[in-house]
Amino acid sequence: MPHECRNKVIITHTNSSKVEDAVDAFRHQNLHNYFIPVPSVTESCSVISAFALAAKLQEQKMNKVKTAKSKEKGWRDFRFEHWGCRFDVGDPNIGTDSVETMKFKLDDGTEMMQASFEYFTDWYPPIGVYRAMYNAGFEVTAYYFEPLEGMGGIFRNGRDTRKKLEIEKFAAGNNGNGQRFGPRNARDYFGSELDDHLHVGQYY
C-alpha cells in the first residue's frame, strides 16, 4: 500500500483497567473498532476479517458479487466517515505495530497508567478514533505523518493541528527556490515535537 500514515498514540488514565482494555484491543487488532464499533450489518470490523471478506468476494459467483460489494462499501464508508481510515490496526501490508505501557505517580500521589501505540494506517490518521479516546476520558496525544502526501500533525486532547506541504513545490525535492527540501526543512515546517517522535526528516 503506497500511502502509509504513521501513527504514535499515547493514552493516559487514572483507571488502569481502561488502559489495559485498550491495550488488549490493540493486541487483538481491534483498537479502532473497540472505540467506534462498526455496525454488524456492514460485516465484521477486524483487519483480518476485512481481508477475508476481500478473498470471499473473489470466490463468490457472479450473481452474488453485487450484494457482497454493497456490504464492502458499507463498512468502507462507515470507517472512512467515523474512523478516518479504512482498516484497523495490524494491517500486514503496511508496517509493523508495537505497544508499550508504564505506570507512574503524579506529584499529588495520583496513580496513572499510560500506553503508547505505534502503527500504520492507510492514507490518513484515525482522527475519529483519537477523538473517541478523548471523549472516553483518556488524556490523548497522537502524532501522525504521511510522507507522500506531505501531511502531518498532532492531536492533543480534542485539538488537531494538521499541516500539509505544497506537493507541487516539494514532491520534486525543492522548495520553489531551487533549494533542496531536506530533513532540517521538514523539522522546521512540521515542528520539533513531531520530528522527535516520528522522525519526519528521514523522508526528505
Domain boundaries, the chain: 4-31+95-203
| For the ranges 59-63, 80-84, 114-118, the one whose mean pLDDT is highest | 114-118
Is the model's pLDDT at 169 over the cut of 90? Answer: no
Question: Of residues 6 and 95, which shows the higher confidence score?
Answer: 6
What is the mean pLDDT of the segment spanning 140-154?
92
- pLDDT value at residue 104: 93
Is the model's pLDDT at 16 over the cut of 70? Answer: yes
Task: Please tell me the pTM assigned to this model.
Answer: 0.77
- pLDDT value at residue 180: 58
Calpha distance 18→26 (Å, rounded): 13
| For the ranges 38-42, 108-112, 200-204, the one whose mean pLDDT is highest | 108-112
- pLDDT value at residue 203: 76
- pLDDT value at residue 179: 54
What is the mean pLDDT of the segment spanning 160-180?
63
pLDDT per position as a tens digit, 171-194 = 555 445 555 566 677 888 889 999
- Burial code of 50-89, b = ≥16 C-beta within 10 A, e = fewer? beeeeeeeeeeeeeeeeebeeebeebeebbeebbbbbbbb
pLDDT per position as a tens digit, 71-95 = 556 778 889 889 999 889 887 666 6
- pLDDT value at residue 41: 44
Calpha distance 113→102 (Å, rounded): 6
Calpha distance 43→18 (Å, rounded): 26
SS3 51: helix
Q: Where are the beta strands (DSSP E) in the chain?
A: 4-13, 98-105, 111-122, 139-146, 151-156, 159-164
Band the pLDDT of 2: cuts 50, 70, 90: low
- pLDDT value at residue 66: 46
- pLDDT value at residue 48: 45
139-146/111-122 β-pairing: unpaired
HEC secondary structure over 99-154 = EEEEEEECCCCCEEEEEEEEEEEECCCCHHHHHHHHHCCCEEEEEEEECCCCEEEE
Residue 144's alpha-carbon distances to 12, 16, 166, in angstroms, are 18, 25, 18
CATH number corresponding to 4-31+95-203: 3.30.70
